[in-house]
Amino acid sequence: MHVGQKTGLRGVFVSGLRKTVALVGMMGAGKTAVGKALATRLDVPFLDSDQEIEKAADRSIAEIFSRDGEAFFRARETEVIGRLLDTERGILSTGGGAFLSEVNRRMIADKGIAVWLKADLDLLWSRVKHKNTRPLLRTANPYETLRELVAARTPAYEMAGIVVEAEPGLSIDAMADKVIGALAAHGGILEEDQ
């Protein structure tokens, strides 16, 4: 194995990406945790659109939603995703609502590939119910709100180029392996040594 290469599934040597992999899906699907594991495994940068927005605004996503509203946030999100797709090649973790935008879906399809980390409602709820950092779940019935968000967003997520199913009990590394396997099966994304 050459320096800087990582072993993917089935002994394929992976040394990077031909295009950015944008992880899409609901809050709690594992976009950040799995994304960081993928970036490490593939030896590429990990990019997080929400973190970039917070850095640029010098405030949290919750503060942006509260002060400026969701429409303002979504406009900044599109700007940041476009900039990251233009300037970096890596694993991009997007916010849960980012892929609802046709503009964002088109940018990701043109310059990268969208991977939907698909998780069922119970798994998502188990991961987000104790967190107060989710502005969209600050409602009287957060479980019902999450259920409605999943139902509303699933048609957009289904437009992703690749779908990888999350499973309860699957470790972050095992999920990263599933994503690498899906990227390899898709073809044209991973830089591989033959």
Residue span of the structural domain in which 44 resides: 26-186
Residue 33 labeled ligand binder: yes
For residues 19 and 146, give the distance between their C-alpha atoms in angstroms, rounded to a whole number. Answer: 31
In-domain check, residue 158? yes
In-domain check, residue 5? no
In-domain check, residue 16? no
Residue 96 labeled ligand binder: yes
In-domain check, residue 146? yes
Residue 29 labeled ligand binder: yes
Residues whose CB is less than 8 angstroms from the CB of residue 147 and which lie 6 or more positions away in sequence, other chains included: 121
* CA nearest to 6, candidates 167, 189, 193: 193
Q: Residue 15: its pLDDT value, please?
A: 58
Residue 112 labeled ligand binder: no
Determine the distance from the C-alpha atom of residue 20 to the mean position of all C-alpha atoms in its chain, rounded to a whole number. 11
In-domain check, residue 80? yes
In-domain check, residue 127? yes
Stated as kind and residue range, the H or E segment containing 176 is helix 172-186
In-domain check, residue 19? no
Q: Residue 6: its pLDDT value, please?
A: 43
CATH of the domain at 133: 3.40.50.300
Residue 8 labeled ligand binder: no
Residue 30 labeled ligand binder: yes
In-domain check, residue 15? no
Going residue by residue through the chain, which has 194 residues, state the pLDDT in tens, using 9 for 90 and above: 333 344 444 444 455 899 999 999 999 999 999 999 999 999 999 999 999 999 988 999 888 988 999 899 999 999 999 999 999 899 999 999 999 999 999 999 999 999 999 999 999 999 988 877 676 778 788 899 999 999 999 999 999 999 999 988 899 999 999 999 999 999 999 987 44
Number of domains in the chain: 1
